[in-house]
Amino acid sequence: MPQAFRLLPVLLASLCLTAAPANESKPDMKDQPKLEKAMFGAGCFWGVEYQYEKIPGVVDAVSGYAGGHVLNPGYREVCEGDTGHAEVIQVVFDPAKVSYRTLVEYFFRMHDPTQVNRQGPDHGEQYRSVIFAYSEAQRKVAEEVKAALEKSKAFRAPIATRIEGEKVFWKAEEYHQDYYARKGTKPYCHTVPFAPEKK
């Protein structure tokens, strides 16, 4: 028998000894939460972001722009009103802890959805009330919540909120992120009095 074949069992045994143990712990992907995204425009994004970040089950809320025709817009461009973009919040959430329906209900209660292109002292198309649904399922839920509120006459005027399909999200400049948290102040026109805060 050639020498190379005689050494083969020894080589295989040494490879088995250096291989990782079969019971070595590996990350279990089943344990990782399946996160989802939502996008809301309810006036100035500072206040909307502040309120959503307080909700248990929300992993992150990021200020940005969506719904317009300008690529990678900046704050000044959006404020000039020619981009078609709205100030929005992209919410990342764990659906096992908070449902999309609950997030939509918070949306309708944290601002005045009857206002057209306005929230408090802020006015312009960028401050419109809008929900950008990431799926048909999200769109259906948003429409159901809106219809229920209209039927119950929860507001004195008709709801002006637009419900649209998914749009590209453009993250706003860093100085807009966590604005109220960094300033140590609270929003002037966004409130969620019934929202349980994260511990």
* H and E: helices and strands count for the chain: 6, 8
Tokens at residue 151, please?
């039927």
36-42, strands of its sheet edge to edge: 162-164, 129-132, 36-42, 86-93, 58-66, 170-171
Q: Looking at this protein, which amino acid is placed at residue 164?
A: E
Cα dihedral sign, 71-162-98-183: positive
Cβ count near 85 (within 10 Å): 24
Give yes or no: 79 in active site: no
Options 16, 44, 79, 189, the catalytic residue:
44
Tokens at residue 56, please?
């248990």
| First-residue to last-residue Cα distance in the chain | 72
Tokens at residue 16, please?
């088995």
Report the DSSP beta bridge partners of residue 123. Answer: 118
Cα–Cα distance measured from residue 173 to residue 175, given in angstroms and rounded to the nearest whole number: 6
What are the residue numbers of the active site? Answer: 44
